[in-house]
Each structure stands twice: as structure tokens, then as C-alpha cells.
Amino acid sequence: MATIRDVAKLADVSVSTVSLALSNPARVSPKTLEKIRHAVAAVGFVADPLAQSLARGRSRMIGFVVGNVGNPFFGDIRRELENYALDHNHFVLVTDSSGKTAREKAMVEHLIGLKTAGLALAPSGHDQDYLDFVAGLNVPIVCFDQKVAGIERDFVGSDNHLAGAMLTEHLLQLGHRRIAFITGPSHMHTATERYRGFTDTMANAGVEVNPNFVVDGQFTRTAGYEAAMRLLIQLERPTAILGANNTVALSALQAMQELGFRCPEDISLAMIDNVQWSSVITPRITMVVQDTLALGGIIARRLMHRITNPQGAVEPPQDFVLTPKFVSGNSCRRV
């Protein structure tokens, strides 16, 4: 591998001039620049990013930290970020914490060690320890998905209260009154907001929420399945189930199928967030989806802004909250 000294020798200039010419061509005389360009081409010089990062104290890499890269929600955002970053000469490193806070911390620390220029982070924690950890990170960071109280960073996400409210309203309009809600973890902002959207809308409509109809699905497959089962074995069953996210809703669908309930004939179902291949799932689930492309675009732009603009680093954090979209399926029937 050719080094900058090889180039300097061949071009018959000093190493520092080569470095200067490469990073700021305008500050070098045209003929010197030409010599250096020739030499670079001749020896096939490519700057070592590691050495560069070490010397500069920062790299051209962006860390993307989420709990599940396989989730299409994160996948779409990743793609948007990646495209934008590549256009701006940055490189995205993806890491998956599997939702574990400890692993996330380790990964973030590793990324910081790599002198990443910035981080797109879907926070997995919420306690004081975690807040301190994030606050202590001295890099541009854009948080997304989960709004965590106490984190003073840019945030990009959707209006989750509205998402819950939209689906609840839809079910109410169809005549449902016995509506069940499968929640997510109570420490997650998305989960509590969606749930609030549900209860607020129910209250506004003057419909009481049956406490037995609120079960905890933890946003996971197993817990969602169990929660759904708990709903379905009740003597007085709900006429509609609202899943706080895609995983618990589809687990509920599976539980319904296994117990022989038909959807929507016996029980209606609605969910927040899309999944891959939702178009071939029968019935097509009525859902509220987030605009992942827009979210990804905003995250990308905001992060690159903070990274590239000198004063961008000190701008006060800002929240970007998008309106989710209602997508009608055929999983909800009129009662």
C-alpha cells in the first residue's frame, strides 16, 4: 500500500504539502498540485482512513444503532440514512443491540472509540444511568423512534398518541365498544403514547375501557401471543383488538387463528406499524404506518447538518414529529 510519503518523494515535495494539497487543493500552486496529482495516480495512493481518523480525532463514519436491524421500520430508515450519508462522503456502520441496553452501551462506546462523526440512535434505555451515559457522549447524536424524557438531543419520530387515537376512532366508528388493547413496555414512550391515544379517544367517546381488555404484550412475539390468548379465553370477549405494534398484533392474529377465531368475522384487528409482506397476510390488517422514508430523510439531514456545520454542533436540540398515516385493510368489520 502506498503511503503519503511515497507520493511526496515522487512529486518531490514535502509530506505536509501533499497532505495540504489533498485536503485543500486551493492552497497549493497549480503546478505543484498537478505534480502531486500525477504522483498520487502513479503510486495508487489512497489515504488510510485509520491514520486519518487518529490524526484528525474524528472519522467519516456514522454509527447507526438500533435494537433490530431486521425490523423493516429500522431497515427503511437505515437505507435513507445510508444513501444520504454516501452522497455526503460518509459511511454508515450498522450495529444491532438486540434491544439490550448493556449491549447497546458497549456498541456505542466502541463506535465512539472509532471516532465516529455522529450517531443515529434508537435509544433502548430510560433510567438515570442511561441518561447520564447518553449525556456524556460528546458527538453529534440524533435520537429517533423512542422519545426518552431527559435526553437532550435531537429527536425524530412520529405522533404516537395520534396513531393510537386514529385506530381507536376507526374502531369506534365501526360500532365497536368492547375494544381490547395489547400494550408495549411501559417504559417505552411509543408504547405509553399509543396507549394514551387509545384511552383518551375512548374517554372522549364516553366508552369505558374494560380493565380486562388491556394486556401487556411487551412488543415481543411471545408476550404478545400470551397477551392475546389471555384476551381470547375470556368469557366476554372483545369484538376488536388493537395491537400497539406490529409484533403483538400479528401474534394476536396467530393466536386467533389457532383458536379458530376468524378475523374480522369474529374479532376485528388493527395495528400500528407495517411489516414486510403485509399485503399477503390474510386478512390485510388495518393499520397506521409511520412515514419511514421521511423519518430517515430528516434523521440523515439533521445529523449531517450537525456534523458538517461548525456551529451545527451547538444548536439546541429539536424535535421532529411526523404524522402517521392510516392504511385501510379488511381486518375490521362493522358491528
Partner DNA sequence: CAGTTCTATCGAACCGGTTCGATTTAATCA
Partner DNA sequence: TGATTAAATCGAACCGGTTCGATAGAACTG
Residue ranges binding DNA (CB under 7 A): 1-5, 12-17, 19-20, 22-23, 27-29, 31-32, 45-48, 51-52, 54-57
Cell triple for 59: 472519522
Residue with cell 375490521: 332
From the list a copy of itself, DNA, none, partner contacted by residue 38 (C-beta under 5 to 8 A by kind)? none
The secondary structure of 287-334 as a DSSP string is EEE--HHHHHHHHHHHHHHHHH-GGGGGSPP-EEEEPPEEE--SS---
Which run of H or of E encompasses 168?
helix 160-173
**Site map (CB under 8 A) of a copy of itself, residues 35-54, x = contact:** -----------x-xxxx-xx
Each residue 228-257 as x (binds a copy of itself by CB under 8 A) or -, in order, gives ----------------------x--xx--x
* Shortest reach from residue 289's CB to a copy of itself, in Å: 16
Using the minimum distance from each CB to DNA, give the nearer residue, 48 or 129. 48
Read off the C-alpha cell for 213: 381488555
CB closer to a copy of itself, 42 vs 54:
54
Give whichever of 28 and 66 is closer to a copy of itself, judged by the CB atom: 66
User: Are the C-beta atoms of 161 and 144 separated by less than 8 Å?
Assistant: no
Tell me whether residue 36 or residue 270 sits nearer to DNA (CB atom).
36
- The partner in contact with residue 4, picked from a copy of itself, DNA, none with C-beta cut-offs of 5 to 8 angstroms by kind, is DNA
> What value, to the nearest 5°, has the Cα angle with vertex 184 and ends 182 and 188?
155
Cβ 297 to a copy of itself shortest distance, Å: 17
Long-range contacts of 262-268 (CB under 8 A, 24+ apart): 263/331, 264/330, 264/331, 264/332, 264/333, 265/333, 267/232, 267/237, 267/238, 267/239, 267/240, 267/241, 268/171, 268/174, 268/176, 268/239, 268/240, 268/241, 268/331, 268/332, 268/333, 268/335
Lookup: cell for 333 = 368489520
297 binding a copy of itself? (CB under 8 A): no
Q: Does 98 bind a copy of itself (CB under 8 A)?
A: yes
Chain residues 116-155 in contact with a copy of itself, contact rule CB under 8 A: none
Which three three-digit cell numbers place residue 140? 453529534
Give 29 or 222: the residue with its C-beta nearer to DNA.
Answer: 29
Residues 249, 278: Cα–Cα separation, whole Å: 12
In angstroms, give the least distance from the CB of 133 to DNA. Answer: 20
**Distance between alpha carbon 185 and the CA centroid of its chain, in Å?**
17
Asked whether position 330 contacts a copy of itself by CB under 8 A, the answer is: no
In the complex, the smallest distance separating the C-beta of residue 146 from DNA, rounded to whole angstroms, is 32
Q: Which of the choices DNA, a copy of itself, none does residue 70 contact, using the CB cut-off of 5 to 8 A by kind?
A: a copy of itself
Q: Does the protein bind a copy of itself through residue 222 (CB under 8 A)?
A: no
Q: What is the DSSP letter of 210?
A: P
Q: What number of CA atoms fall less than 13 Å from residue 289's CA on the CB side? A: 17
162/9 Cα distance (integer angstroms): 65
Q: How far is the CB of 279 from a copy of itself (least distance, A)?
A: 6
Q: Residue 282 Cβ, how far from a copy of itself at the closest point, in Å?
A: 4
311 binds a copy of itself (CB under 8 A): no
**Is position 2 an interface residue for a copy of itself (rule: CB under 8 A)?**
no
Question: Which one among 31, 277, 311, 314 touches a copy of itself, defined by CB under 8 A?
Answer: 277
Contact footprint for a copy of itself (CB under 8 A): 46, 48-51, 53-54, 59, 69-72, 75, 78-79, 82, 86, 91-96, 98, 103, 107, 110, 113-115, 250, 253-254, 257, 275-277, 279-282
